[in-house]
């Protein structure tokens, strides 16, 4: 597996644990619709939350969340529409980003950006 894929997998696992520790119930992991993949789909506070996880080893090129561009947001929204239709869910939804930056010592920081876009 390529290093960037390993970093992404590690980031998604950390994000999942982080959310579960905060009381979120994970409904799906790496859910795919058409060309869009939603890293995590969670349920919390009567909402379905679609979570994009971005992990980086440096912020030299920008913060991780800055890499969730317009095209990615459109794809996530399309996937979310299909998911709520599939689940027959009529409640509120939210799009979050979990940004993880790893340091050279093996540590990391996590930032949870709720309602990151709509």
What is the pLDDT at residue 57?
93
| 7 part of a folded domain | yes
| Tokens found for residue 13 | 């696992």
| 41 part of a folded domain | yes
Taking the complete model, does pTM exceed 0.95, yes or no? no
Please provide the distance, in angstroms rounded to a whole number, between the alpha carbons at the two ends of the chain: 33
| 118 part of a folded domain | no
What is the pLDDT at residue 68?
96
CATH of the domain at 72: 3.40.1350.10
What is the pLDDT at residue 3?
64
| 46 part of a folded domain | yes
Sign of CA dihedral 7, 2, 30, 53: positive
What is the pLDDT at residue 17?
98
Domain count, the chain: 1
What is the pLDDT at residue 42?
98
With b meaning 16 or more CB within 10 Å and e meaning fewer, what string describes 7-31? bbeebbebbbeebeeeebebeeeeb
What is the pLDDT at residue 1?
62
| 97 part of a folded domain | yes
Range of the domain at 59: 3-113
SS3 label, residue 101: strand
Residues of the chain where predicted confidence (pLDDT) is lower than 50: none
| 81 part of a folded domain | yes
**CA quadruple 47, 37, 13, 44: dihedral, nearest 10:** 0
């Amino acid at each position: 597996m390529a290093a960037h894929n390993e970093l992404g997998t590690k980031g998604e696992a950390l994000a999942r644990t982080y959310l579960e520790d905060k009381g979120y119930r994970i409904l799906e992991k790496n859910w795919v619709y058409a060309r869009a993949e939603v890293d995590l789909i969670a349920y919390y506070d009567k909402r379905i939350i679609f979570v994009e996880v971005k992990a980086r080893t440096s912020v030299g090129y920008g913060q991780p969340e800055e890499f969730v561009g317009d095209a990615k947001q459109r794809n996530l929204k399309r996937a979310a529409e299909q998911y709520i239709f599939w689940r027959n869910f009529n409640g509120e939804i939210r799009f979050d980003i979990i940004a993880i930056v790893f340091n050279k010592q093996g540590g990391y920081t996590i930032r949870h950006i709720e309602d990151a876009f709509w």
